[in-house]
Structure 1
C-alpha cells in the first residue's frame, strides 16, 4: 500500500507510526470524555495510560524479537541490525498486553484507582486504538494475509512494504482490515455496555467482554494470516493458543462471579 505518508529527501513519515499516534490520540480523547461520568481523575488516568502504553509497546517489541529472532538473519550482528533497522514495525500484541496489563494493574493500585472500574473504562479505548493500529499495519504491509481469490483480496505493489517479496503483486487477504473492522465493532459494543454500566452494571463486565471478543476475533483472523505465525501444537499459532487461554479464563471468571 503506502508505507510512507510523506517523503522529502531522506525524510520519510511512516504511515504505521502516524496511525499508531492517531489511535493513541483517539483513545485519549475518548477517555477524557468518559472519565467524568466515572468520577476518575483525568490527570491520574492520563498518567496511567501513558505508562501502560509505553510498557505495552516495549513488551510487544521484546516478544516480537524473541519470537522471530531466528528469522532476522544468520548471525547475531545481522539479526540485531535488522531489528533496529525495522524498529518501527514488528510488535506482538499479546506481549504488549502482558507487560502493559501488569503495568496498568500496578500503576492503578499506586494511584488509588479501582482496577476493574478503570479497566472497564479503558477497554473500549483499547479496541479503538487497536483499530487505528491495524490500519497502520495495512499501510505498512505487515501482518498480511494468505493468497486468495476472494472479492475482498487486495494487491500490494510497493516493494518497500513489510511483505514477503513473493506476495508482491499477488491478491491476498487484507487481514489487517479484517481486524481493524473487528476492533471497531468491539469498540461500539463495549461503548454501549459502558453507557449501561454508568447506570448500573457489574464491575469488570466490560473488560471481560473485551477479552472474550478480541480473543475470538484474533483466533479467527489467524487462520487467514500469511506471515510467519510460529509453530505450535495442533497446527495452531502461539497467538491462537493464547487466545484460547484468555477465552477460557473469561468463561471461568464469569462462572465464578455468577456463582457468588
Structure 2
C-alpha cells in the first residue's frame, strides 16, 4: 500500500466581497507579501536602533529612513520579479504577447528577478542617502527570509510549484489535471511538497541563521558578510530543493522529461539551479572578503 497525504481543503482566497458587479478578494499569496514585508521592515528597524551592531558603533541610517528603503524594496520585488519571470522562464510567450507583461494578477514572479530588482532599489537608496551600500545589502538580506517563508507557504496553499512524483509517505496529492499528470503512476499521484521544503530551508533555517549572526554574533560589523551568507544559503537551499521540484512545463519535452536547461548526458541543471549557482559563488566570495578585511 502506498501512503500519501490528501491536499488540505484550504481556499486560496481568505475572503471575497462583491461590489457593483466586481469581486474583490484577499488571497493568501497577497497576504504573504504584505506580512513578509512588514516583518522584514521590523527586523531592519530593530537592527538600526542598535548602534552597537554596526561598524564604529553607529548605525548607517535613522530608523525612519527604513520606510524609504522598504518602498524601494517593494518596487524592486514587483518590477524585478515580474521581468525576471518574463525573461528567464517564458520570453517567447511574452515577446508574442507584450501586453500581458504587466498583468501580475495572472501569476508569474521570479525570485531571482526580484532579487535583482531589490538590489537595484538598494543601490538607488544608498546613492540618494549617501550610506554604505554593503550595510544596506546586509539589512535587506536580514529582512528577506520572512517573506520567503510566507511566500512558499502561500504557494502550497495555491497548489502551485509542486514537486516531482514520489512514493514517500509525506507525498501530497495535489489537485488539478496538471498535478495528476504523472506518467507511469497508477491511480492518484503524490508529489513532493517542495514548497514546504523551500519554506523550511529558505525561510526558517536561513532566517534563524541570519538573526543569530546579526543580533548575537554581530556580523553587521563586517559589511557584506551577512549578504554573503544570504546569497550562499539561498543558492544552496534552492539547488537542493530543485532536485525534488517539478520543472516548469515549458522546459519539459519528450527527450528532456526532467526539464533541464543544461544537460550532461542523463544529468543536468534546472533553470532554478542555473540561476542559483552564481549566488553561491558571489556569496562565498563576499563572506571571505568581508571577514578577511576584519581579521
Is the shorter-chain TM-score for this pair beyond 0.5, marking a shared fold? yes
Cα distance in structure 1, aligned partners of 2:173 and 2:113 = 29
Q: How far, CA to CA, are the matches of 1:23 and 1:216 in structure 2? A: 22
Q: Which runs of 5+ in 2 are unaligned?
A: 1-9, 52-58, 183-187, 252-259
Structure 1 residue 166 corresponds to structure 2 residue 181: yes
Contact residue 16 and residue 26 of structure 2 kept, 8 A: yes
User: Which deviates more from structure 2 when the two are superposed, residues 204-213 or residues 234-243?
Assistant: 234-243
CA distance in 1, matches of 2:63, 2:242: 36
Contact map agreement 1:20 1:136 (CA 8 A) in 2: no
Q: 1:30 to 1:146 in 2, by over 3 A?
A: same
Alignment-derived partner of residue 241 in structure 1: 274
Distance (whole Å) between structure 1 residues aligned to residue 141 and residue 91 of structure 2? 34
The structure whose Rg is larger is 2
Counterparts in 2 of 1:21 and 1:257: CA distance versus 1, 3 Å = closer
Task: Compare the two structures and name the one with the higher helix fraction.
Answer: 1
8 Å CA contact 1:154–1:171 kept in 2: the answer is yes
Residue 17 of structure 1 is matched in structure 2 by 30
Q: Are residues 126 and 200 of structure 1, via their aligned partners in 2, closer, same or farther at CA, if it must alter by over 3 Å?
A: closer
Contact 1:37 1:198 in 2 (8 A): no
Write the distance in 1 (CA, Å) between the matches of 2:14 and 2:174. 16
Match of 1:185 in 2: 205
**Residues 1:170 and 1:13: Cα distance change in structure 2 (over 3 Å):** farther
1:27 match: 40
Alpha carbons of 1:250 and 1:28: their partners in 2 closer, same or farther (altered >3 Å)?
Answer: closer
Secondary structure at the residue paired with 1:171?
Answer: coil
Alignment of 1:1-260 (within 5 A): 1-9=10-18, 10-38=23-51, 39=59, 40-69=61-90, 76-77=96-97, 80=99, 87=105, 89-157=107-175, 159=176, 164=179, 166=181, 170-182=189-201, 183-198=203-218, 201-228=221-248, 230=251, 231-234=260-263, 235-257=268-290
Aligned counterparts of 1:115 and 1:70: Cα–Cα separation in 2: 32
Aligned-partner Cα distance in 1 for 2:280–2:219: 27
Task: Tell me the alpha carbon deviations over residues 210-249 of structure 1, each in whole angstroms, 9 at most, x when there is no partner.
Answer: 1111110011111111141744223202221221112122
Aligned residues: 254
Residues 19, 110 of structure 1: alpha-carbon distance in 2 compared, 3 angstrom cutoff:
same
Q: Say which is worse superposed, 226-235 or 21-30, in terms of deviation.
A: 226-235
Report which stretch shifted further, 250-259 or 114-123.
250-259
| 8 Å CA contact 2:225, 2:286 repeated in 1 | no
* Distance (whole Å) between structure 1 residues aligned to residue 25 and residue 215 of structure 2: 41
Task: Quickly say closer, same or farther: Cα 1:197–1:16, change in 2 above 3 A.
Answer: same
Cα distance, 1:27–1:254 mapped onto 2, change above 3 Å: closer
